[in-house]
Amino acid sequence: MRAIATVPISICYLLSAAVLADDDIGPTYAELLGWEPGAKVVIFHADDAGMSHDANVGIIEALEDGLLTSMSTMMPCPWVSEFATYCAQNPDIDNGLHLTLTSEWENYRWGPVAGKFLVPGLVDDEGCLWRTVAQVVENATPQEVEAEIRAQIDRAKTMGLPITHLDTHMGTLFATMEFFAAYVKVGMEMQIPIMIPGGHATLAQEEYADMAELFPAIRAVAKQVWDSGLPMLDDLFSDTYGWTTFEEKKTNMIDLLRRVEPGVTQIIIHPTRPTEVFKHISDSGETRLADLLVMLDEDVKKTVEEEGIILTTWRELSERRANAAASEAAPGHGKG
């Protein structure tokens, strides 16, 4: 039986992990999952499914005609039902939950799935989720955060949505150790893979240089998650949102793909096919459309081939983790 009873990832553990973590990272998680040494494995991941009709259309187009391999759904949002219908028609889709604790747009907003009375610290004076991560940190308790995580998972299960993994909208669940602990706890308890850059984290450390001292602790927690039977990422890149135009996105994406290190890397994008309505939701239509066009671009597809990049999904990671666990449990298995 897996050591899920040890899940309460305490704050003391997280703090001490930074001191106790071994700097020797060892084999990549891609290797541990059965890929050849040196393999570069990439998940092209779309955030914000269910956020709007335009987001759903863009994600589906990027998946069916482009390089996209995975996505995650924002359960508090108004267009989840439409995306759930698509998932029901395509049951093998790699859909996770984009755990959502903020409602950032000016006039297009949503509240917590758990309801105001259960998680009052998560809502503002409109009864919606707070607009910023800082406001969530200031007002919400870890217990409320955990309750909302569980409520979003429960709603997804009720709607029949596949849940191949969990991640975090606007990075809120990485904002404090207490929030991160709730995220890890629920994922391990429910045996749902969680997005953590748990390996060499080369790109993640470049992107979040101000958090460099935390990565040894993150690796230590990731090892515990792996040992519970869940797969793990080696690296993560999420800064594509800051690339605005298609030309900029294409140039930077090709450069990024050439810099990807061996291991499993998730690249986050927000592909959208904006209509006239989208400008009333957000002014991010240009960068989101550019994400879609990059996924469809032949030169980007050619770069993936030239670099020998293997595209994968969270579903495949879980299948490979189960195979690795079975191999580890086999009689005569040893670590050399």
Is the Cβ–Cβ distance between 35 and 29 less than 8 Å?
Answer: no
Strands (E), the chain: 40-49, 70-73, 95-99, 166-168, 235-237, 263-269, 310-311
Q: Where are the domains of the chain?
A: 4-11+31-327
pLDDT at res. 16: 52
pLDDT of residue 328: 79
Whether the Cβ atoms of residue 149 and residue 181 lie closer than 8 Å to each other: no
pLDDT at 210 (0 to 100): 86
pLDDT of residue 23: 57
Tens digits of pLDDT across the chain (336 residues):
233 333 344 444 554 554 455 556 789 999 999 999 999 999 999 999 999 999 999 999 999 999 999 999 999 999 999 999 999 999 999 999 999 999 999 999 999 999 999 999 999 999 999 999 999 999 999 999 999 999 999 999 999 999 999 999 999 999 999 999 999 999 999 999 999 999 999 999 999 988 888 899 999 999 999 999 999 999 999 999 889 999 999 999 999 999 999 999 999 999 999 999 999 999 999 999 999 999 999 999 999 999 999 999 999 999 999 999 988 777 765 444
Pairing of strands 166-168, 235-237: unpaired
pLDDT for 4: 33
List of residues 6+ apart from 208 with CB closer than 8 A: none
Q: What is the fold, at CATH topology level, of the domain defined by 4-11+31-327?
A: TIM Barrel (3.20.20)
Angle at the Cα of 20 (from 19 to 24), degrees rounded to 5? 110
Query: CA of 115: how far to CAs of 110, 111, 126, 144, in Å?
Result: 11, 7, 13, 11
Please report the pLDDT score of residue 12 as a whole number: 47
For residue 69, which of 47, 94, 48 has the smallest C-alpha distance? 94
Alpha-carbon gap, residue 309 to 312, rounded angstroms: 10
pTM: 0.92
Per the CB < 8 A criterion, the answer to whether 284 and 278 are in contact is no
